[in-house]
Amino acid sequence: MFKWFGMVNFTPYTRVAEFAAHLKDGRIMASRCSACGARSFPPRADCAACMAREFEWMEISGRGTLHTFTTIAAAPTGFERYAPYTVGVVDLEEGGRALAWLGGTIPSGEIAIGMTLQLVPRIEEDVEEIRVFYSLERPGTTWSKAGAATVGERQAPPAAAGARRREQV
Ligand SMILES: [Zn+2]
C-alpha cells in the first residue's frame, strides 16, 4: 500500500504503510504513540519522544499555515513532466509539518507565507495503478471519504500485525 504513495518511492514497505490506504479513503492520518501519546505527522512507527514501537492512527483535519514554498523548475526523477510546479510546507494545526503540491484552488499570485491552507487527499486518475498524494488547497475545499471500516478490513502487512492487533482490542 505504501507504494501507492508518491511518484517515486524508495520505501515500498514500512510499518506505516497503511497511511496510503487511509489517504485513498480520504483520511489524513497522523500517528500517536501508545506509550506517551506524542503525535507525529508524517506518521512514525517508532516514537521520537520515548522510542516506543507501538502506535495508533489518528485522523487529523489537515488544516495548516504555509511555512514556506518554492517553485521547482529542474524537477527530480519522476516529476519532470510536471515542471515547473510549486510545493509548500505547512505547519499543521494538530502538530507536524506536511510537504505538498500547491493545488489548483490557489492562484500562484496569491501564495503567501502565513496563509491558511487545507491538505486534501488526492487519487491520481490518469494512471492505471493506484497513486495517492495530497495537495494544498483553499480552506473549505471538500473531498469524499470512504466508510469508516474500509482500511480495517484490509489485510495488515506482517510486521504491522502487532500494531493492528492492539488497535482491534
Ligand atoms: Zn512515545
pLDDT tens profile 133-153: 999 999 999 999 987 656 655
Residue 15 belongs to some domain of the structure: yes
Q: Is residue 86 part of a domain?
A: yes
- Residue 146 domain-assigned? no
Structural domain includes residue 150: no
Cα(49) to ligand 1 centroid in Å equals 5
- Between the CA of 143 and the centroid of ligand 1 the distance, in Å, is 32
Alpha-carbon distance values, 49 to 10, 38, 40, 155 (Å) = 26, 7, 10, 29
Domains contained in the chain, number = 1
64-103 pLDDT, tens per residue?
A: 999 999 999 999 888 899 899 999 999 999 999 999 999 9
**How remote is the CA of residue 52 from the centroid of ligand 1, in Å?**
5
Whether 151 is covered by a domain: the verdict is: no
Cα–Cα distance measured from residue 39 to residue 32, given in angstroms and rounded to the nearest whole number? 4
Question: Does residue 19 lie within any of the structural domains?
Answer: yes
CA 44–ligand 1 middle distance (angstroms): 10
Q: Nearest to residue 76, comparing CAs of 19, 132, 10, 4?
A: 10
CA of 14 to the centre of ligand 1 (A): 18
| Amino acid at position 25, single letter | D
Residue numbers of the domain that contains 16: 2-141+157-168
Ligand 1 centroid vs 139 CA: distance in angstroms?
31
Q: Is residue 148 part of a domain?
A: no
